[in-house]
A and B are shown apart, each in its own frame.
Chain A
Amino acid sequence: MPKAKVNGVEVEFEPGMTVLQVAELAGNEIPRFCYHERLSIAGNCRMCLVEVKPGPPKPQASCALPAAEGQEIFTDTPLVKKAREGVMEFLLINHPLDCPICDQGGECDLQDQAVGYGRDASRYAENKRAVEEKNMGPTIKTFMTRCIQCTRCVRFVTEVAGVPEIGLTGRGEDVEIGTYLEQAVTSELSGNVNDLCPVGALTHRPWSFNYRPWELRKTETVDVMDALGSNIRADYRGPEVMRVLPRVNDAVNEEWLSDRSRYAVDGLMRQRLDRPYVRVGGKLKPASWAEAFDTIAQRMQGVAAERVGVIAGDLQDAESMKAALDLFGSMGVTNLDCRQDGAQIGVGQREGYLFNSTLAGIEDADAVLLIGTDPRKEAPLLNARLRKIWLAGKAQIGVIGEQADLSYDYAWLGEGVKALKDIKKSAFAEVLKNAQRPAVIIGMGALARADGAAVLKLAADAAKAFGVVKDGWNGFNVLHTAAGRVAGLDLGFVPGEGGLDVPGMVEAAGKGALDVLFLMGADEIDMSRLGRAFVVYMGSHGDAGAQRADVILPGAAYTEKPGFYVNTEGRVQLAERVVFAKGEAKEDWAVLRALSERLGRTLPYDTLADLRARLLAEHPTFGRVDYVAPSAALDLAKLGAKGEVSDLPFVSLIRDPYLTNPIARASVTMAELSALRSPVRALAAE
């Protein structure tokens, strides 16, 4: 490997690295505004100036200068310092001195670097420029006078998000960042431009003027808005989660976060169930915990186990599902299901329901077939990865299902089962056949239907035919949409012997064959079809389930309980408690523990640690956090079941990507985003 000297210290570097990267390798931080590791290099802020020998006798922009063998790089000479001070002075000429009222204040790159390279006072006596505010939609608040034209936002939406809607118009002193005719940015990743902005020009609109960064306390946890388990940092003040920011985890979310994960947190303070309720005379009345448990115990007395059903929702943590399994299992209940969308998957080998290539590993694929999934809606950050490999020309992508705008080109093979059956005759078959590492991503749009198992069989057959699983490569991927789903399947939260699945339970309840239905944060089933069943709803938000419930047990939202979540690739991640549950609400496992005592079937654990010990003993996969086990040999022939298939097209289950769960539905920001995307606009004057 070539070597270069940085301030006299020799370092080895990979060929193709820039001078800035080599200097960082040697431990010298280079100030920068426009340069960003995950975006293309623009080289327009000039803050990263260094001295390089051999080379012209002037400072050079290190971000755009390739490092070379034998180069001598100086990052701290008087010349460099003076040059950077000059750049800083020019940047500050037109930058307003409004840090005290700026939301970026306290976490602003310009502010921080001005401490190192700024002058104490301005020499500029002329008028500063002022720029009109721009509309960029409900997530981005603009204050364009502060913009220093680094173009990170332009590059992000063009390259990563794939919606080239932000641009730099005008020239010279009059350049402005904006969108075409002030339209809102339509990206599902738009919030990231606010993170990228090195100054306060673009800030988070939903949180504007709500906090100062130094008032917040930070907890590192895991997101549950999709099945990727993005790593997040939840910042809170008092009892309220004020904001959510991404943490860097290259294996999961790189350093991005989708708008749903980021901005749905205002839903955590709305529509909350903060005390138990019992339905009396058709109306929900506030009750005490004891009254609520008494009502349940009385109703369940003498009810046969096969007339009881339990459904776990999409956002459940593993611990509460384990407690529910232990409690209802001890009663002999077999009507258990964690797949409220009715997905026909989750029995048999673990690899059969995981995203086996792993999220980072999908970037090694050279042909990807999407079956019944719209990753842009279901998992925006996975979609960004697919776009990345498409953009690099590394992979070709085929789609069976909806012809959605995925932000990249793909070969559309058909809308349903027919295309899947005829895949070998399609033009894309050649691509899959010639691929070294072909991958299949099968979504809930294909599996969450009555013939899901048969569709899975067809998909597995196709995968087998194209060598999707082979030595050293497992490209058979299931993309879940629910954060709690894989944990539920790992725990075996599926119907037992003779048990009913979710569609079965709903039907049985409607016919009067089910007396008690216990919903753990399950709101996505059709509540109007539950007939006269006695419904207990345990959850955090007053949504569809709570409205139908006969007893409401207030639980904790994902930021309010420590818990294990397993993402779609089988990665076990630990979420931490950020704030306490609201009002009288308790953590879900504790609610179940208390209920078990009242039902006379006391669960054998008194603390979360005991519960976890039992969980780990019975399910060793939970033993290693932030780890994906190497994919075991997957027998594709055993997946799914032969059966009749219907010709219905594959349709993604997520119709509105901003309203997928009770928390998002309680969020004002999500409602705004949803309204913006809705094709139905208000016609009458307001």
Chain B
Amino acid sequence: MSVRRLAKEQPASFAFTPETLEKANWWIAKYPESRRQSAVIPILWLVQKQEGWCSEPSLRAIAELLGMPYIRVLEVATFYTMFQLEPVGKVLVQVCGTTPCMLRGAGDLIKVCKDKIGAKDHMSADGWFTWQEVECLGACVNAPMAQINDYYYEDLTPESLAEILDKFRAGEKPYPGSYAGRHSSEPQGGALTLTDSKLYDGSAAKKIKKLPNAPTPETAT
């Protein structure tokens, strides 16, 4: 991670779309009127969803919407690394580089990104991709993995990642999830435990005589 600054080139203005504003107001309504600023993080997310990144005019618009000083919004936006302070490509690839993914080959994924997209944290020349290395995304069981836009792509190999990126470039939307053919985070080749069908038809269960804390005739009345 490096120093996070606002991008040098900024759009002249920003306006909330009616949909964003509606959702923003839904978030604001969750807090007391005097605590409107509590909605700053959800609204930064909404703005990022709308624009792809958080521009300087958008930070000011958020501050004005929530009645807080500009610098307070800037503090939040620069603190949290998930808020993009520079424009990003249509496809944002966030490769997990933390220990489990690293041990399982995140370095190779990063190399694919470098080759296919270019420098880290910068939009590719064609405006399609931006890739970043991020800290643990919490999918260590399916390492190595990357988050592409809103979805997790797991059990990646350099080949499968390259193929996914190509599909995005071709305008397709590759299906998220495991690319090693496993369901969720089950072992490869299917489950190894809890396979007995009796577990699921009720026959192995002990007969229930009494529910704990169930109402008795005395207490029910």
A contact residues vs B (CB 8 Å cutoff): 164-172, 174, 176, 179-181
Is B3 part of the contact surface with A, judged by Cβ < 8 Å? yes
Q: Would you call A169 and B74 a contact (CB within 8 A)? A: yes
CB distance from B72 to the nearest CB of A (A): 6
Q: Would you call B56 and A167 a contact (CB within 8 A)? A: no
The one of A169, A172, A174, A181 that contacts B75, using a Cβ cutoff of 8 Å: A169
A166–B71 alpha-carbon span in the complex (Å): 7
15 extra A-B contacts, CB within 8 A, seeds A165-B71, A171-B4, A181-B56: A164-B72, A165-B69, A167-B72, A167-B75, A169-B74, A169-B75, A169-B78, A170-B3, A170-B79, A171-B79, A174-B1, A176-B3, A179-B71, A180-B70, A180-B74
Query: CB-CB < 8 A to A164: which residues of B?
Result: 69, 71-72
Query: CB-CB < 8 A to A171: which residues of B?
Result: 4, 78-79, 81
Is B2 part of the contact surface with A, judged by Cβ < 8 Å? yes
Q: Would you call B71 and A167 a contact (CB within 8 A)? A: yes
**Chain B 59-97 interface mask (CB, 8 Å, partner A; 1/0):** 000000000011110110011010000000000000000
Nearest A residue (CB) for B59: A180
**Chain B 1-14 interface mask (CB, 8 Å, partner A; 1/0):** 11110100000000
| A-B residue pairs in contact (CB < 8 Å), sample of 16 | A164-B69, A165-B69, A167-B69, A167-B74, A169-B4, A169-B74, A169-B75, A169-B78, A169-B79, A170-B3, A171-B4, A171-B81, A174-B1, A174-B2, A174-B3, A174-B4
CB distance from B123 to the nearest CB of A (A): 22
Q: Would you call B3 and A180 a contact (CB within 8 A)? A: no
Q: Would you call A180 and B4 a contact (CB within 8 A)? A: no
A174–B79 alpha-carbon span in the complex (Å): 9
Query: CB-CB < 8 A to B69: which residues of A?
Result: 164-165, 167, 180
Tell me if A's interface is mostly helix, strand, loop or mixed: mixed
Query: CB-CB < 8 A to A165: which residues of B?
Result: 69, 71
A169–B78 alpha-carbon span in the complex (Å): 6
CB distance from A387 to the nearest CB of B (A): 15
Nearest B residue (CB) for A168: B75
Nearest B residue (CB) for A131: B3
Query: CB-CB < 8 A to B81: which residues of A?
Result: 171
Query: CB-CB < 8 A to A179: which residues of B?
Result: 71
CB distance from A135 to the nearest CB of B (A): 14
CB distance from A324 to the nearest CB of B (A): 50
Q: Would you call B71 and A170 a contact (CB within 8 A)? A: no
Nearest A residue (CB) for B70: A180
CB distance from A665 to the nearest CB of B (A): 33
**Chain B 118-135 interface mask (CB, 8 Å, partner A; 1/0):** 000000000000000000
With A176-B3, A181-B56 already in contact, the answer to whether A170 and B72 are too (CB < 8 A) is: no
A170–B4 alpha-carbon span in the complex (Å): 6
A167–B72 alpha-carbon span in the complex (Å): 7
CB distance from B36 to the nearest CB of A (A): 15
Query: CB-CB < 8 A to B79: which residues of A?
Result: 169-171
A171–B72 alpha-carbon span in the complex (Å): 14
A216–B89 alpha-carbon span in the complex (Å): 59
List 8 tightest A-B contacts by C-beta distance, closest first.
A167-B71, A164-B69, A169-B78, A180-B70, A180-B71, A174-B3, A167-B75, A171-B79
Query: CB-CB < 8 A to A166: which residues of B?
Result: 71
A240–B81 alpha-carbon span in the complex (Å): 51
CB distance from B68 to the nearest CB of A (A): 8
Q: Would you call B71 and A172 a contact (CB within 8 A)? A: no
Nearest A residue (CB) for B81: A171
Q: Would you call A170 and B78 a contact (CB within 8 A)? A: yes
CB distance from A680 to the nearest CB of B (A): 24
A181–B81 alpha-carbon span in the complex (Å): 19
A170–B1 alpha-carbon span in the complex (Å): 10
A165–B71 alpha-carbon span in the complex (Å): 6
A649–B134 alpha-carbon span in the complex (Å): 60
Q: Would you call B74 and A172 a contact (CB within 8 A)? A: no
Query: CB-CB < 8 A to A172: which residues of B?
Result: 1
Q: Which of B102-119 contact A (CB under 8 A)?
A: none
Nearest A residue (CB) for B6: A181
Nearest A residue (CB) for B73: A180
Query: CB-CB < 8 A to B4: which residues of A?
Result: 169-171, 174
CB distance from B55 to the nearest CB of A (A): 13
CB distance from A271 to the nearest CB of B (A): 38
Query: CB-CB < 8 A to B78: which residues of A?
Result: 169-171
Query: CB-CB < 8 A to A167: which residues of B?
Result: 69, 71-72, 74-75
A170–B6 alpha-carbon span in the complex (Å): 11
Nearest A residue (CB) for B56: A181
CB distance from A185 to the nearest CB of B (A): 11
CB distance from B83 to the nearest CB of A (A): 12
CB distance from A520 to the nearest CB of B (A): 45
CB distance from B80 to the nearest CB of A (A): 8
CB distance from B114 to the nearest CB of A (A): 24
Query: CB-CB < 8 A to B75: which residues of A?
Result: 167-169
A181–B5 alpha-carbon span in the complex (Å): 10
CB distance from B59 to the nearest CB of A (A): 9
A170–B79 alpha-carbon span in the complex (Å): 5
A167–B56 alpha-carbon span in the complex (Å): 16
A50–B103 alpha-carbon span in the complex (Å): 43
Q: Which of B1-58 contact A (CB under 8 A)?
A: 1-4, 6, 56
CB distance from A522 to the nearest CB of B (A): 42
Nearest A residue (CB) for B2: A174
Query: CB-CB < 8 A to A176: which residues of B?
Result: 3
CB distance from A172 to the nearest CB of B (A): 7
A165–B74 alpha-carbon span in the complex (Å): 11
Query: CB-CB < 8 A to A174: which residues of B?
Result: 1-4
CB distance from B98 to the nearest CB of A (A): 16
Nearest A residue (CB) for B80: A171
A167–B70 alpha-carbon span in the complex (Å): 9
CB distance from A257 to the nearest CB of B (A): 24
CB distance from B187 to the nearest CB of A (A): 37
Query: CB-CB < 8 A to B71: which residues of A?
Result: 164-167, 169, 179-180
CB distance from A174 to the nearest CB of B (A): 5
CB distance from A169 to the nearest CB of B (A): 4
Nearest B residue (CB) for A178: B71
Query: CB-CB < 8 A to B1: which residues of A?
Result: 172, 174
A168–B4 alpha-carbon span in the complex (Å): 12
Nearest B residue (CB) for A167: B71
A436–B124 alpha-carbon span in the complex (Å): 68
A181–B2 alpha-carbon span in the complex (Å): 19
CB distance from B136 to the nearest CB of A (A): 16
A170–B74 alpha-carbon span in the complex (Å): 9
A181–B73 alpha-carbon span in the complex (Å): 12
Which among B2, B6, B78 has the highest number of chain A CB atoms within 10 Å? B78
A176–B71 alpha-carbon span in the complex (Å): 12
Query: CB-CB < 8 A to B72: which residues of A?
Result: 164, 167
CB distance from B44 to the nearest CB of A (A): 14
A558–B171 alpha-carbon span in the complex (Å): 77
A180–B78 alpha-carbon span in the complex (Å): 12
A170–B71 alpha-carbon span in the complex (Å): 12
A169–B85 alpha-carbon span in the complex (Å): 13
Nearest B residue (CB) for A172: B1
Which among B3, B4, B71, B74 has the highest number of chain A CB atoms within 10 Å? B71
CB distance from A290 to the nearest CB of B (A): 62
A166–B75 alpha-carbon span in the complex (Å): 10
Which among B1, B72, B75 has the highest number of chain A CB atoms within 10 Å? B75
Query: CB-CB < 8 A to A180: which residues of B?
Result: 69-71, 74
A165–B70 alpha-carbon span in the complex (Å): 8
